[in-house]
Amino acid sequence: MKTGSLSFRKFKESEKGSFTIEASLVFPILLMLTLCFIFFALVMYQQSALHYSANSVAEKLAFVWNNSDKDINTGKFDKYTSFDGGDGLYWRVTDDQFLSQFGIDFFSNGGASIPIGSGGGGGLPQEKLGRVSSGILPAGATGEVRYENNLTGSQIVVHLNSPLNFPSYVTNLFGIDQIEVEVSQSVVDPTEFIRTTDLVMYAVKSLTEYSNYITQFMSRR
């Protein structure tokens, strides 16, 4: 009896195999945490790549928006908008979606929004938006591009989505099965800005002069 009790005490106090037991308990936790970090990094990478593609599309369209003859990659062009076959001299008034915010859609042909890669179709804004090829997008990514014009300025908005090519248990872990990004870029048109500035200055000057005439006329009565 004493011999058995002594053997049990030695077994209890022995540290042989403790490392194996501890490792078998800790290793699965470390493995799961490592896998979670890896999948999280992959999701962030895919979202960053999708965001870069959306931003690239928006920047290119905003850069060449003022002339449909411009090369979408380099900006090179051989003719101006007022020449035969160009956008036309008054396209900013009739075909630039500006009047649609006031409920006037005689020229705008509806909202300027198309799926990427559809090739355009419809009014001039749709044709400009349709110049973007779906080849610039990551594999499996889809989305749409739209043009917005209002009193504060005009901008290109690109919305993309892409499925997560992960096992179902990973997508369930993160609670998402696809990622979405939306990017906007302002359309900068220096020529139109200078023209508009000159028009405002001329209008203010003319109103000041006419107001002086009216004031002088009223003071003589």
- pLDDT tens digit string along 170-199? 778 778 888 899 999 988 887 777 887 898
Q: Mean pLDDT, the chain, as a whole number? A: 78
Domain shared by 123 and 69, yes or no: yes
- Please give the model's pTM, rounded to 2 decimal places: 0.71
Residues 95 and 150 in one domain: yes
Residue 4 lies in a domain: no
Count up the domains in the chain and report the number: 2
Q: How large is the average pLDDT for residues 143-161?
A: 86
Same structural domain, 214 and 198: yes
Same domain, 108 and 134: yes
Residue 5 has pLDDT above 50, yes or no: yes
Q: Are 99 and 91 in contact (CB under 8 A)?
A: no
Residues 151 and 195 occupy one common structural domain: no
The boundaries of the domain holding residue 141 are 17-187
Q: Are residues 150 and 78 in the same domain?
A: yes
Q: Which of 177, 144, 182 is nearest to 162 (CA)?
A: 177
| Confidence band, pLDDT 50/70/90 cuts, at residue 110 | very low
Greater pLDDT, 208 or 183: 183
- Residues 151, 132, single domain; the answer is yes
Q: Is the pLDDT of residue 7 over 60?
A: no
Taking a C-beta distance cutoff of 8 angstroms, is the pair 87, 125 a contact? no
Q: Is 149 strand, coil or helix?
A: strand
- In whole angstroms, what is the distance from residue 65 CA to residue 157 CA? 13
Predicted confidence (pLDDT) at residue 109 exceeds the cutoff of 60: no
195 and 136 in a single domain? The answer is no
Query: For residue 9, is it within any domain?
Result: no
Do 32 and 98 lie in a common domain?
yes
Q: Please give the Cα distance from 170 to 36 (Å, whole number).
A: 9
The confidence score (pLDDT) of residue 29 equals 87
pLDDT tens digit sequence for 114-129: 888 777 667 788 888 8
Does 95 lie in the same domain as 193?
A: no
CA distance 26 to 219: 95
Instruction: Answer whether residue 158 shows pLDDT above 90.
Output: yes
The pLDDT assigned to 99 comes to: 63
CB contact set of 79 (below 8 Å; sequence gap of 6+): 69, 85, 86
Map residue 59 onto helix, strand or coil.
helix
CB 141 within 8 A of CB 162: yes
What the block records as the tokens of 93 is: 């008034």
Q: Rounded mean pLDDT of 92-99? A: 71
Domain annotation covers residue 5: no
In sign, the C-alpha dihedral spanning 197, 198, 199, 202 is positive
**Whether pLDDT at 41 is above 80:** yes
pLDDT of residue 123: 78
Sign of the four-CA dihedral 136, 138, 141, 145: negative
